[in-house]
Structure 1
Protein backbone atom coordinates (compact mmCIF):
# COMPACT_ATOMS: atom_id res chain seq x y z
CA UNK A 1 0.00 0.00 0.00
CA UNK A 2 1.38 3.40 -0.97
CA UNK A 3 0.85 6.63 0.91
CA UNK A 4 -0.83 9.31 -1.20
CA UNK A 5 -1.03 12.93 -0.07
CA UNK A 6 -4.71 13.84 -0.05
CA UNK A 7 -4.35 17.35 1.35
CA UNK A 8 -5.58 19.15 4.41
CA UNK A 9 -9.08 19.77 3.06
CA UNK A 10 -9.60 16.07 2.42
CA UNK A 11 -8.38 15.24 5.93
CA UNK A 12 -10.64 17.85 7.54
CA UNK A 13 -13.63 16.59 5.55
CA UNK A 14 -12.99 13.02 6.74
CA UNK A 15 -12.64 14.19 10.36
CA UNK A 16 -15.93 16.09 10.08
CA UNK A 17 -17.68 13.03 8.65
CA UNK A 18 -16.38 10.91 11.51
CA UNK A 19 -17.53 13.44 14.12
CA UNK A 20 -20.98 13.70 12.53
CA UNK A 21 -21.36 9.92 12.40
CA UNK A 22 -20.33 9.65 16.08
CA UNK A 23 -22.74 12.40 17.08
CA UNK A 24 -25.64 10.77 15.21
CA UNK A 25 -24.83 7.45 16.90
CA UNK A 26 -24.72 9.08 20.35
CA UNK A 27 -28.01 10.91 19.73
CA UNK A 28 -29.64 7.64 18.67
CA UNK A 29 -28.33 5.89 21.81
CA UNK A 30 -29.81 8.67 23.94
CA UNK A 31 -33.15 8.56 22.15
CA UNK A 32 -32.58 11.98 20.60
CA UNK A 33 -32.68 13.25 17.03
CA UNK A 34 -30.32 15.74 15.43
CA UNK A 35 -31.95 18.57 13.53
CA UNK A 36 -29.83 20.51 11.03
CA UNK A 37 -29.66 24.26 11.52
CA UNK A 38 -30.90 26.44 8.68
CA UNK A 39 -27.71 28.44 7.98
CA UNK A 40 -24.34 28.98 9.65
CA UNK A 41 -24.79 32.77 9.43
CA UNK A 42 -27.98 32.51 11.47
CA UNK A 43 -26.08 30.54 14.11
CA UNK A 44 -23.40 33.23 14.35
CA UNK A 45 -26.05 35.94 14.74
CA UNK A 46 -27.87 34.01 17.45
CA UNK A 47 -24.65 33.40 19.35
CA UNK A 48 -23.71 37.08 19.16
CA UNK A 49 -27.17 38.13 20.34
CA UNK A 50 -27.09 35.70 23.27
CA UNK A 51 -23.64 36.92 24.31
CA UNK A 52 -24.86 40.51 24.41
CA UNK A 53 -27.90 39.69 26.56
Structure 2
Protein backbone atom coordinates (compact mmCIF):
# COMPACT_ATOMS: atom_id res chain seq x y z
CA UNK A 1 0.00 0.00 0.00
CA UNK A 2 1.33 3.43 -0.94
CA UNK A 3 1.99 5.75 1.99
CA UNK A 4 1.12 9.40 1.46
CA UNK A 5 3.29 12.24 2.67
CA UNK A 6 1.78 14.88 4.93
CA UNK A 7 4.40 17.52 4.21
CA UNK A 8 3.03 20.98 3.60
CA UNK A 9 5.15 23.67 1.98
CA UNK A 10 4.12 27.26 1.27
CA UNK A 11 5.85 28.83 -1.71
CA UNK A 12 5.86 32.51 -2.61
CA UNK A 13 6.22 34.26 -5.97
CA UNK A 14 5.82 31.24 -8.24
CA UNK A 15 3.83 30.89 -11.45
CA UNK A 16 1.57 27.99 -12.34
CA UNK A 17 1.70 26.26 -15.69
CA UNK A 18 -0.62 23.52 -16.94
CA UNK A 19 -2.80 24.01 -13.86
CA UNK A 20 -5.45 21.34 -13.37
CA UNK A 21 -6.49 22.36 -9.87
CA UNK A 22 -10.26 22.84 -10.19
CA UNK A 23 -11.00 19.92 -12.49
CA UNK A 24 -8.91 16.78 -12.90
CA UNK A 25 -7.25 16.06 -16.24
CA UNK A 26 -7.04 12.65 -17.85
CA UNK A 27 -3.56 11.14 -18.15
CA UNK A 28 -2.43 8.71 -20.87
CA UNK A 29 -3.82 5.74 -18.92
CA UNK A 30 -7.27 7.28 -18.55
CA UNK A 31 -6.88 8.15 -14.86
CA UNK A 32 -8.22 11.50 -13.66
CA UNK A 33 -5.65 13.48 -11.66
CA UNK A 34 -5.19 16.97 -10.29
CA UNK A 35 -1.81 18.43 -11.18
CA UNK A 36 0.20 21.60 -11.67
CA UNK A 37 3.66 22.57 -12.87
CA UNK A 38 5.47 25.32 -10.98
CA UNK A 39 7.72 27.90 -12.61
CA UNK A 40 10.30 29.04 -10.07
CA UNK A 41 13.13 31.47 -10.90
CA UNK A 42 16.57 29.85 -10.64
CA UNK A 43 17.84 32.60 -8.35
CA UNK A 44 15.00 32.08 -5.81
CA UNK A 45 17.07 30.19 -3.24
CA UNK A 46 14.44 30.39 -0.49
CA UNK A 47 11.74 28.51 -2.41
CA UNK A 48 14.23 25.97 -3.77
CA UNK A 49 15.45 25.27 -0.22
CA UNK A 50 11.84 24.72 0.98
CA UNK A 51 11.20 22.24 -1.82
CA UNK A 52 14.40 20.30 -1.15
CA UNK A 53 13.62 20.19 2.60
CA UNK A 54 10.13 18.79 1.92
What interval of TM-score do these two structures reach, taking the shorter chain for normalisation? under 0.3
Structure with the largest fraction of strand:
2
When normalised by structure 1's length, the TM-score is 0.21
Structure with the largest fraction of helix:
1
